[in-house]
Amino acid sequence: MKMYNFFRFAPLTALLLLASCGGNASKDQGEETKSAPRVRVEEVKLVPVEQRSTFTATVEAEAVNNIAPAIGGRIRRILVDVGSFVRRGQVLVHMDRTTLSQQETQLVTLKRDYERYKELYDVGGISKQQLDQAKTQLDVAESSFDNLNENTVLTSPINGVVTARNYDPGDVAAGLPVLTVQNINPVKVLINVSESYYNQVVKGMEVEVNIEALNNETFKGKVSLIHPTLDPVSHTFPVEVQVSNGDQRIRPGMFSRVTMNFGANDRPLVTDLAVLKQTGSNDRYVFVEKDGKAIYTLVQLGARLDDKYEIVSGLVAGDKVIVQGNTSLIDGTPVEVVE
């Protein structure tokens, strides 16, 4: 009975075993025939790339002067207004002369007293000490008079344009300047340059200054001052750029971009199709084909030149960068290179 059952089910068992083996064989055969992703590559070559860096800043006046009396007083006349162009030495404001007149009267009296004391001293009527005291009083009065006289008529110390007026005639000047005059030819731009360029920035170096408010017009500028110290936090150093402004179209407060050219370096240049962005970060990477595999490689980008990127670090000459078929790759994926 047992023998009968064995032989009865033996063919079924054999069929199941064969089916099982046949299924595994088909699966293995499918895996073997699955082809690797087909990709195109470009060999990295070094090319000269201009090292240009751009810095943003606000235009400033070359010089700013606040016009105010040294001693507060009442304003009698203001001869200019905001927007007026003024010359060096031009009279801008007349202050009240009442105090000056009083000081002038006192000065005349002291001069007369001194001359009389001098005559008395010559004939022995007073001592040398008394004469010296009279001379001291006269000197103090003359100094006060000169100071008041300078503050009665206010002039401009520079050529420029009036950019602020804080009082009207009849007001008492106290605290704020009466006028502000700014020299806007030339103008200057103060930028903060990375310390990595410290040895490359020199006085007189030509730069390009782009003014956004003037339809992005570009002006020529020169480095006029390099500050000798660096900011320990930002690791930058201030640089002043002077820009000629004969037609005075550039005005203080305008936004500008300053571009410096530090010469050319041989750098890898790859098409933008090869450069991918890491999800969730600003990291950029490429895939390099090596021994039939796609190798994930982080890169640091420099300037963008048309449809190519300058590679500052991450690639060397001779690397084969995948430029097509790279979007679905992962590190170590076998690939097939096609022309």
pLDDT tens digit string along 241-295?
999 999 999 999 999 999 999 888 888 989 999 999 988 888 999 999 999 999 9
Average pLDDT on 184-203 reads 93
CA distances to 64, 276, 279, 290 from 309, in Å: 43, 12, 19, 21
The per-residue DSSP string of 192-242 comes to: EEEGGGTTT--TT-EEEEEEGGGTTEEEEEEEEEE-S---TTT-EEEEEEE
pLDDT of residue 10: 42
| Amino acid in the structure at residue 314 | G
CA pair distance 158, 161, nearest whole angstrom: 9
Number of CB atoms found within 10 A of residue 35's CB = 7
Q: Identify the H or E element spanning 107.
A: helix 98-122
3-state SS class at 315:
coil
CA pair distance 325, 280, nearest whole angstrom: 22
Average pLDDT on 135-145 reads 81
Greater confidence (157 vs 107) lies with: 157
Q: Identify the H or E element spanning 27.
A: helix 2-33
- Decide if pLDDT at 1 tops 60: no
Whose tokens are 């304003």? That residue is 75
CA pair distance 125, 133, nearest whole angstrom: 15
- Decide if pLDDT at 196 tops 80: yes
13-37: per-residue pLDDT in tens? 443 443 444 445 444 444 444 588 9
Assigned token pair, 132: 């010296």
166-178: per-residue pLDDT in tens? 999 999 988 899 9
Number of CB atoms found within 10 A of residue 289's CB = 22
- Decide if pLDDT at 3 tops 60: no
**196-219 burial, b for 16+ CB within 10 Å, e for fewer?**
eeeeebeeebebbbbbeeeeeeeb
Greater confidence (151 vs 37) lies with: 37
What is the phi/psi pair of residue 18, to 5°?
A: -65, -40
50-98: per-residue pLDDT in tens? 888 899 999 999 999 999 987 778 899 999 999 999 999 999 999 887 7
Could you tell me the sign of the dihedral formed by the alpha carbons of 71, 77, 79, 82, in that order?
positive
What is the phi/psi pair of residue 320, to 5°?
A: -105, 105
Residue whose C-alpha is closest to residue 292's, from 234, 247, 242, 335: 335
pLDDT of residue 30: 45
Average pLDDT on 123-127 reads 81
CA pair distance 104, 16, nearest whole angstrom: 130
Half-sphere exposure in the Cβ direction for 222 (13 Å, CA): 7
How much of the chain exceeds pLDDT 90, in percent? 58
**19-32 burial, b for 16+ CB within 10 Å, e for fewer?**
eeeeeeeeeeeeee
CA distances to 102, 153, 272 from 97, in Å: 9, 9, 74
Mean pLDDT of the chain: 85
What is the phi/psi pair of residue 281, to 5°?
A: -155, 175
